[in-house]
Each structure stands twice: as structure tokens, then as C-alpha cells.
Structure 1
Amino acid sequence: MDHTYKKEHTAINGNEIYYEFFKNDQASQTFVLLHGFLSSSFSFRRMIPLMTKKYNVLIVDLPPFGKSGKSIRYKYSYENMANTLILLLEKLNVNKVILAGHSMGGQISLNIAYLKPELVELTVLLCSSSYLPRMKKPLIYSSYLPFFPVYVKRYLGKSGLEANLQNVVYNREMIDEEMRQGYLEPFLHNEIFRALTRMVRDREGDLDQQKLRSIQTPCLLIWGEHDRVVPLSIGKRLKEDLPHAELVVIPEAGHLIPEEKPQEVMSVIEKYLNKVHA
């Protein structure tokens, strides 16, 4: 089996986008993996080896996270991020994909399926954030104050890495030094806090019920039974609003299911793919 592997930064839509592309010569399907808020493609590290055996896999750091650019001239709305990914796929000559989005990445996957349905064969939503409104106006106005990035940094620092990791997993014993470093690394550079300030301003509300109901793409919803970040009730609501959706709940799992239950997630995806293509 022949694989080619490419990783690079590429300028798209006014920002630097970092991606890694695993191409499998035997594969006919391409997965695009999109991570969550305050995360990076690091969160898929346990799923990637399982996927590259049978599929092409493109992992992307969504700006301003991970190794992607943190330009403060870029518009950090979900619609613009979705369009940036559509442009990246065009550049890579990929014209049909399976989107797998975790948390915020799920909401961006839904935006892509809404904006360019012909590009998406299937959407896998892993504990996908949904139904969040836009930030409140006082916070948006405050984001124009010169010291606001410092406030963002302090706010994130106060909640602390350890507490955040404990909140996103069900089994806290799995938290080790590699995991701590992987999730801390993107926040060691001050540029991200200026970009997050723009994101406070730019992020529109999540897709509303009317837009969700117009998405005709098959959607597989996979949820951790004990998700404390995006509770299972959101998954159940999404299942009702998306016309072609199936919901699978993984027991003894929290929000970070690609890290916690990679094998289980993969087997649910494969089973669904077999059913859809039967």
C-alpha cells in the first residue's frame, strides 16, 4: 500500500493555513478532520493512524489555532472559516469529502455542508457545538478596547489547562504530560489572544433551525454519554433538526471522544459508511 504525506502552510483567504494530507493510493474517500475551539489537529492524533489505513486524510488547523496563522486582518466568522476550507480543498483538487468535525469543528462542517453541499458526501459530527448565539453586544464592544487581548489571556489562564482537560474527558486518568503539552502549546504565543479578540467580534451565531433543516447531506452524530461541554441534549435536538441524521451515543466518554474513544468512533463511522453505501 502506497502512502504519500504532505504537510505545509499555505496562504489562503488572507491567512496562513497549516494542513497535513495523508494520501493513500488505494483509497477512494477523503476525510477532512476539523478540531474544536481552543484546540488543534493534535486532538485527532489517536484517530489518524486508524483512518490512514483505508482513507485519504486531510487534517487542518483552523485559524487562529494550532500552527495556522493568527492574522488580525482575517475575519474569524464560521462562514469565513468554512469558505477558507472550501478554497483549500479547491487548491488541493479534492472535490468530494467526508467531513468529521469535533465540537466547533462540527459547526464549521455544518456551515460547509450548507454553503457547498455538492462537496460533502457525509458529515460526521463529534459532540458538535450548535445553537450558540452570537456574543452579547457589550462584550463585542469591549473587544475594541486596546487591553482586551490581555483580558482574554487572563480569562483563559484563570480556568487553567488541568481543569479544562478534566472537564472534557470522562476518564481523568488518561491525562498525561504529552496531552497537557499538546493542548497547552498553542497558547504559549501572544498572537493568538489578539486573534481570539477578533473572533469574539466576528463569530456569528450557529446555524439556525431553518438552515439546519435545509441540509440534505447525511449526518452521523456521535456523542459522549457524559459530555459536560456540549450535552447529549444538543445531539438529540440536532438529530431532530437535520433531515438525514443518525445519533450514536458512546458510553463512558466525555466531550473529547476522538482522544478518549478513537476505536469506538472509527467503528461507528465505518458501520454507518457501509450502511449508506449498501
Structure 2
Amino acid sequence: MHLAKHFASLAGKSEKLQQISGWRRKLMSQPVARSLLMSRMRQEDAVDTVEKEIHKLQIPTLVIAADSDETIPLWHCETYANEIPGAELAIIPNSTHGLPQTQAQIMAKLICEFLNN
């Protein structure tokens, strides 16, 4: 979310992002809605996302994943790494969705190593 806030600020859309974040929090606080949304987080439900075009990427790619992310399941990141030609996957153990806020040093190290190879 930190990166989204930064980009929204640069684009002059901070207020809109706050509104969307509020809607998401309200939706996820409702057990039935949360159950419906989370049950759609299966691999077979991902056909409406970028997976159908991701194999066309032709740039060096590092996919960084949290092993306990409740927002973006690990399989989703594994799909990206498997479908992007030559992509590398780095899984940060004992981590959740807030990687930039909680694992910044590890992420920076992974990115620097990736860029130096």
C-alpha cells in the first residue's frame, strides 16, 4: 500500500486512493463478503488478470513474494515467476503483504543482487 500511496500522491489521486482503501476495509470487515472474495483467490480464478499476457514480457524480472501474504497468495507470485521468461522468484519467509514497510532491507538486498547479476 505504501507504493500505491506514493504513486497516487504523484498522480494527484491521494483522495481517491483513500476512498478506495476505505471501501476495501469495509468490504473485508464483513464476513460474507470476505469469504466470497477470499474464496476467489484460487489459481483457476486468475484468468481475468494479467496472466494471459504476462508471458510476453521480455525484460529481466524479479518477483518478490511474502510467504504469508493474505492479499496476494504465494501461488499468484509463483505464476508470475513461472510465466515470465527467465524471471527469478524470491520468497521472503515469515512475511506478509506489507513487505516495503516491514522487509525493506531484505527487499533492497534482493533487488541489488538481482541488478548486479
Q: Taking structure 1 as the reference length, what is the TM-score of the superposition?
A: 0.30
Q: Which has the higher helix share?
A: 2
1:69 offset after TM fit, Å?
2.8
Partner of 1:247: 89
**2:66 aligned to 212, 221, 224, which one?**
224
Gaps of 5+ in 1: 1-33, 42-60, 71-149, 161-204
Confirm whether residue 207 of structure 1 aligns to residue 75 of structure 2.
no
Show the counterpart of 1:158.
26
Which residue of 2 is the match for residue 271 of structure 1? 113
Which AA in structure 1 matches 2:3? H
Which has the higher relative contact order, 1 or 2, with Cα contacts under 8 A spaced 6 or more apart?
A: 2
Secondary structure at the aligned position of 2:63 is classed as strand
Cα distance in 2 for partners of 1:272, 1:67 equals 27
- With structure 2 as the length reference, what TM-score do the two structures score? 0.65
* Structure 1 residues 229 and 215: CA distance shift in structure 2, 3 A: same
Within-5 A mapping of 1:1-278: 35-36=3-4, 40-41=5-6, 61=7, 65-66=8-9, 68-70=11-13, 155-156=23-24, 158-159=26-27, 206-209=49-52, 211-275=53-117
Structure with bigger gyration radius: 1
Change in 2 beyond 3 A, CA 1:35/1:271:
same
Instruction: Determine what percentage of the aligned residue pairs are the same residue.
Output: 24
Q: Unmatched 5+ residue regions in structure 2?
A: 14-18, 29-47
Determine the C-alpha separation between the residues in 1 that align with 2:81 and 2:100. 20
CA RMSD of aligned residues (A): 2.9
- The alignment covers a number of residue pairs equal to 93
Are the structure 2 counterparts of residues 270 and 159 from structure 1 closer, same or farther at C-alpha, using a change threshold of 3 Å? same
- TM-fit CA distance, 1:153: 8.4
